[in-house]
Chain A
Amino acid sequence: MELGFEAHGDVIGVVMVRGRLDLMSAVALKTRLEALVAEGWSRLVLDLDGVQFIDSSGLGAVIAGLRATRIVGGDCRIARAGAQVRHILAVSTLDRVLTPYGTIEEALVGLA
């Protein structure tokens, strides 16, 4: 798994995720998201266009990131989720708290 980051303002950032989000990489994602929040990036968009697979471990990491942002009064959204990511969000009913946005631009609206 590879992670990239792009700032969109003082507290808003886009995290680009590439590869599989599973028990091999979940801890790394969770650690990175929590570190970003600790650095002051309280509003994050996860760009999942490059994620071909996510499992329950990966979901847990994403939820951990969401929780970290919410604790500091921010938010975490996901964008450009592929078919498998949307499937697991639906069967886990986590699409109720992590609505997959079609584009990064849509996810950024209202995040400030």
Chain B
Amino acid sequence: MHETLLDVSATFPARPEGLDRLHAALERFFREADHAGAGLCAQDRAALVTAVGEIAANIIAHACRDLPDADVRLALARRPDCVEARFEDPGVPCLTHAPAPPGPVPHLGIGLHLAQCSVDALEYARGAHTNHWRLVRRTRSP
């Protein structure tokens, strides 16, 4: 089932300086998970931070390259058997061809490839004017 043990949301500007806020949100998420007795092992933390960091960098460097004043939304959720991260940004589509349905992302650059190798599911979808990323990592610890 999709019971959520805790969730953390944050918004950060779509420029390199925004990464400070992204990492602060991740640290808050880990602290709150520990406090709730749902902490992540070092391996899961490393993998999640890697994947989230690469998607964020991709959004800043590519999707929102010409939108430095845009905001990117991040939502982190801890569930009994996994962690989930969702991004929403108003940038250009990730893929240059027609929007793809939700699912695995083909033709990844190195950053997105590293993100995909770090999680169990990486999905991209294009809304009317927004990009949506969903990452899921099955936790190796309770």
Contacts and interface: CB of A to CB of B under 8 A. Distances in A.
Nearest to B49: A84
Contacts of B47: 87
A55 B51 CA distance: 9
Interface in A1-43: 20, 22-24
Interface residues of A, number: 15
Nearest to B111: A56
B114 A91 contact: yes
A22 B53 contact: yes
B118 to A, nearest CB: 6
B29 to A, nearest CB: 14
Contact of A84 (B19, B45, B60, B110): B45
A83 B46 contact: yes
Interface residues of B, number: 21
Interface string A69-104: 000000000000001101110011000000000000
B3 interface: no
B46 A55 contact: no
Contacts of A86: 46
A91 B117 contact: yes
Interface in B43-84: 43, 45-47, 49-50, 53-54, 57, 60-61
A82 to B, nearest CB: 8
B42 interface: yes
